[in-house]
Amino acid sequence: MSTIAERLARHVVELQYEDIPGMVVEKAKSHLAHHLGAVLIGRQRQNGQNTLRVAELIGGPDGACSVITTARRASVLDSVLLNALLPPNGFEDFVLPQGIHPGVVTHPVGWAFAEHEHRSGRDLLTAVIAGYDVLGRLCDPALSWGRVEPSHFVLEAFGAAATASKLLELSVEETLYAFGHTGLQTGRRVGEIGPHAVLMHPWIARHGATAAVLAKAGVTAPTDVLQGEQGVLNIVFASADTSWIEAELETLGEHFTITDTHPKLPGSPNAVNSAPLGITRRLMQEHALDYARIEQVAVFIPQERQLVEEQRSAMLTAPSSWSSRDVSLHYLVASVIADDWVGAGGLDGQSRTVLRAALDKVHLRYEAGRPIQYARVEITTADAEIYSGENADLESSAPQLDWEEWLTDSGLNVLSDRSLNRLLKLMRHLEDVSTVTDVLACLVCPPSPPRE
């Protein structure tokens, strides 16, 4: 019987563009465009300036690959790192219930290796879709959400390795070696890194890409790194039982993880917070509620989130921990109901006093048997009126973005009209683009100061 790694490797190698339904291709194009929009936004912010400084140190005019938004070039692996550094935190795509962010590790790898290997738009789309599939099958929702350290920080590199392996045209055996190299150096998050979590993804993407390069060069590695007592899955989930993955593997080639993926709601760093925040905003708008009228907000979420959310709520009692406030649902809901009083980002003086009072109005409640994307919000007013809203599934609250509008708005201030219009045209028909170098040529921006 084939191992999990063998079945995933075979899927990566055998997947062909012609086997992918049209709606899956359109979904992949949308997510690639969403990520490029995030890159263009990042170019205008401080992390974009940080990337430029790093590019000056490790890049140059003669590298094989683009450093997106600049005229500089870099090696394929450095290009992965630099392009993954550009998007700001909070613009990733996500998959629920797994809670993973496939795009931030597969897209930089996809663009760099497709350019390096002179691949077409179809090749890029196929490789990215394969990377999503590998990562989606490895992350088990039932075991991930009770953990303070999310499993995706360890497993995301396998998605990056799969995308690179596809574009390098590795064999099944070589792809297994790529997975083996990935497993030998799985990344782990250390401590509470808060806003610096965005720095994890570039290293993870580069790590998975490096694993594929090693395999391409003929460097062998263990082929059984996923299963067994010493396997990555046992290390991540503290269980050697991998029977839960079998049903997911059966759907390879029929169900594509990218169809379950959504762009993250701006301002909500945690993907599962889209639903409760969206419901709270909607109730306040529909019933003309403001901070003064609200007596209490009860937010009902799955019991699997209790451990993490209670730890995050407890952190808010320490002033030094407010830098990590944006990962706490308790804080985010309080900031929504206090928005008119506080203003964007206000944390000092009277603003912090109002926010702390708003925190006292918000109460998280946990219910067993709910899917991870479930949320229900009940707002009680000072005159005892109760307004409630529920979200039983992700589709009813997930942000639906028009990728052309998003990419246009993101590029208006950094790209010339000619480059932006050509970029939009190429992305609309990415499956017909003969070389992705044509797309990347549209993404060279003139120097500009950081804008926050």
Domain parsing of the chain, residue ranges = 4-264+400-443, 271-396
Q: Is the pLDDT of residue 257 over 80?
A: yes
Q: What is the reported pLDDT for 297?
A: 97
Token pair, residue 265, equals 């709601």
Q: Is the pLDDT of residue 125 over 90?
A: yes
Whether 375 and 346 have beta carbons less than 8 Å apart is answered as no
How confident is residue 191, by pLDDT bands cut at 50, 70 and 90?
Answer: very low
How far is residue 56 CA from its own chain's centroid? Answer: 27
Token pair, residue 368, equals 């067993």
Q: What is the reported pLDDT for 233?
A: 80
Q: Is the pLDDT of residue 188 over 80?
A: no
Q: What is the reported pLDDT for 372?
A: 79
Q: What is the reported pLDDT for 96?
A: 75
How confident is residue 432, by pLDDT bands cut at 50, 70 and 90?
Answer: very high
Rounded Cα–Cα distance for residues 375 and 275 (Å)? 6
Q: What is the reported pLDDT for 449?
A: 45
How many residues are recorded in the chain?
452
Question: Over the stretch 17-38, which tens digit does the pLDDT of each residue have?
Answer: 999 999 999 999 999 999 999 9
How confident is residue 263, by pLDDT bands cut at 50, 70 and 90?
Answer: confident
Q: What is the reported pLDDT for 294?
A: 95
Q: What is the reported pLDDT for 147?
A: 54
**Position with higher pLDDT, 400 vs 158:** 158
271-396 carries CATH number 3.30.1330.120: yes
Question: Over the stretch 146-186, which tens digit does the pLDDT of each residue have?
Answer: 554 556 677 899 999 999 999 999 999 999 999 999 998 76
Of 72, 306, 112, 346, which is closest to residue 206 (Cα–Cα)? 112
Q: What is the reported pLDDT for 448?
A: 54
Q: Is the dihedral of CA 12, 18, 22, 27 positive or negative?
A: positive
Q: What is the dihedral of CA 67, 72, 74, 78, to 10 degrees?
A: -40
**Position with higher pLDDT, 198 vs 407:** 407
Neighbours of 438 (CB within 10 A): 13
Which one of 78-92, 109-123, 344-358 scores highest in mean pLDDT? 109-123
Q: CA–CA distance from 350 to each of 343, 353, 356 (Å)?
A: 11, 5, 10
**Position with higher pLDDT, 115 vs 277:** 115
Of 206, 19, 210, which is closest to residue 125 (Cα–Cα)? 19
Q: Is the pLDDT of residue 268 over 80?
A: no
Question: Over the stretch 32-59, which tens digit does the pLDDT of each residue have?
Answer: 999 999 999 999 888 788 888 888 888 7
Sheet with 362-367: strands ordered across: 362-367, 294-302, 375-381, 386-391
Q: Is the peptide bond before 97 cis (omega within 30 degrees of 0)?
A: yes
Question: Over the stretch 221-237, which tens digit does the pLDDT of each residue have?
Answer: 999 888 877 788 877 77
Give per-residue burial for 171-189: e unless 16+ CB within 10 Å, then b: eeebbbbbbbbbbeebbee
DSSP string, 211-232: HHHHHHTT----S--SSSTTSH
Rounded Cα–Cα distance for residues 428 and 420 (Å)? 12
Whether 73 and 60 have beta carbons less than 8 Å apart is answered as yes
How confident is residue 84, by pLDDT bands cut at 50, 70 and 90?
Answer: very high
Residue spans of beta strands (DSSP E) within 325-416: 362-367, 375-381, 386-391
Beta-bridge partner residues of 128: none
Token pair, residue 378, equals 């009940």
Q: Is the pLDDT of residue 438 over 90?
A: yes
Q: What is the reported pLDDT for 343?
A: 42
Q: What is the reported pLDDT for 450?
A: 43
Q: Is the pLDDT of residue 269 over 80?
A: no
Q: Is the pLDDT of residue 394 over 60?
A: no
Residue with tokens 């067994």: 228
With a pLDDT cut of 90, the percent of the chain lying above it is 53
How confident is residue 341, by pLDDT bands cut at 50, 70 and 90?
Answer: very low
Rounded Cα–Cα distance for residues 34 and 437 (Å)? 18
Kindly report which listed range (64-73, 319-328, 442-451) carries the lowest average pLDDT score. 319-328
Give the CA radius of gyration of the chain: 22
Q: Which homologous superfamily does the CATH classification assign to the domain defined by 4-264+400-443?
A: 2-methylcitrate dehydratase PrpD (1.10.4100.10)
pTM attached to this predicted model: 0.83
Q: Is the pLDDT of residue 277 over 80?
A: yes
Mean pLDDT for 326-345 is 72
Q: What is the reported pLDDT for 235?
A: 75
Mean pLDDT of the chain: 85
Rounded Cα–Cα distance for residues 177 and 368 (Å)? 41
With a pLDDT cut of 70, the percent of the chain lying above it is 83
